[in-house]
Amino acid sequence: MTDIISKRDGRGVATLTLNRPGKHNAFDDELLSALLTELRACRDDEQVRVIVLAAAGKSFCAGADLNWMKRMAGYSAEENYRDARAMAWFYQELSTIAKPTIARVQGATFGGGLGLLAACDIVVAAEDAVFGLTEVKIGLIPAVISPYIRKAIGHRQALRYSITGERFGAEEALRLGLVHKVVAGSELDHAVEMLCRELLENGPAAMAAVKSLLYGANEDDLQKEGQFTSGCIAEVRVSPEGREGVAAFLEKKKASWRMD
């Protein structure tokens, strides 16, 4: 089974679907690499004018895959840095691609999955969707996605939700600015379709210029932030607390710092 299903219609709408429903579309380096390959194919295809990022099954994206987390737990600091740097580069390419992107969101979206939303231009969510920057629960941090979360919801809100790890619903995501539109689950496809039609009325070069206008001046900053945040998560992953938290999560045990 392929991790990414890529479809294009005759109008130039490309839909890239995360296809790990049994794992709630949790991602690893292989899935991100496959998604990046598809994004670049869309970027280079002049017929593609709009990109929709969707997900199969009940959830949009549960964050990092358990098997990947197991591998990362055994990585050295340098290996963790290289791994995190590749992820940071992926998010930068998703955010700055010169074509409008729409995220179609249902169910749960946690951790790095929120980075996918924050890096997309427009986000439409089902009213029962649930979100959370839950990394601190296992002694980690939302590092490489933090620049995109901060830009989406602001510094104060990014700090709150990153430091509490609390979950929140679609209406709160709308209030924060992480989500642009909330609809009933049965109306999700229709809402995305209406946005696609709106975008298809616009000049492709003009939309690309808008993204360049808003991102171009900050592209160097994104690269610097990517280097910095990659170093941060590499250090945290190999720290005693980080290793304990991941091990406790994988073994379904209680980490020593938990007071509940």
Reported as a pLDDT band with limits 50, 70 and 90, residue 1 is: low
> Does residue 119 fall inside a structural domain?
yes
- To the nearest 10 degrees (0 to 180), the angle between helices 77-96 and 219-238 is 150
What average pLDDT is seen over the chain?
Answer: 92
Predicted local confidence at residue 253, as pLDDT: 85
> Does residue 232 fall inside a structural domain?
no
> Does residue 68 fall inside a structural domain?
yes
**Whole-angstrom Cα distance, residue 45 to residue 95?**
18
Which residue in the list 78, 79, 127, 135 is annotated as catalytic? 135
> Does residue 93 fall inside a structural domain?
yes
> Does residue 18 fall inside a structural domain?
yes
pLDDT at 19 over 90: yes
Q: What is the DSSP string of 105-123?
A: E-SEEETHHHHHHHHSSEE
Specify whether the CB–CB gap between 6 and 33 falls below 8 A: no
pTM over 0.75, yes/no = yes
CA 257 to chain centroid: 28
State the average pLDDT over residues 193-214: 94
SS3 of residue 257 by DSSP: coil
**Whole-angstrom Cα distance, residue 48 to residue 55?**
19
Reported as a pLDDT band with limits 50, 70 and 90, residue 42 is: very high
Predicted local confidence at residue 219, as pLDDT: 66
In this structure, the chain runs to a length of 260
Predicted local confidence at residue 217, as pLDDT: 59
Phi first, then psi: give them for residue 126, nearest 5 degrees: -70, 150
**Whole-angstrom Cα distance, residue 144 to residue 142?**
6
Predicted local confidence at residue 25, as pLDDT: 96
What CATH number corresponds to the domain at position 20? 3.90.226.10
> Does residue 53 fall inside a structural domain?
yes
Domain range spanning residue 24?
4-187
**Whole-angstrom Cα distance, residue 161 to residue 170?**
14
Give the number of domains in the chain: 1
> Does residue 233 fall inside a structural domain?
no
Work out whether strand 167-169 and strand 130-132 pair parallel, antiparallel, or are unpaired: antiparallel
pLDDT at 138 over 70: yes
Reported as a pLDDT band with limits 50, 70 and 90, residue 137 is: very high
Catalytic, 135? Answer yes
Strands (E), 71-225: 101-105, 108-110, 122-126, 130-132, 167-169, 181-183
**Whole-angstrom Cα distance, residue 150 to residue 173?**
13
CA 12 to chain centroid: 23
pLDDT at 244 over 90: no
pLDDT at 31 over 80: yes
Q: Which amino acid is at 64?
A: A
pLDDT > 90 in the chain, percent = 67
Specify whether the CB–CB gap between 237 and 227 falls below 8 A: no
Predicted local confidence at residue 74, as pLDDT: 79
pLDDT at 108 over 90: yes
Predicted local confidence at residue 49, as pLDDT: 97
Predicted local confidence at residue 247, as pLDDT: 84
Q: Which residues pair with 39 in a beta bridge?
A: none
**Whole-angstrom Cα distance, residue 104 to residue 192?**
7
**Whole-angstrom Cα distance, residue 94 to residue 67?**
24
> Does residue 127 fall inside a structural domain?
yes
pLDDT at 134 over 70: yes
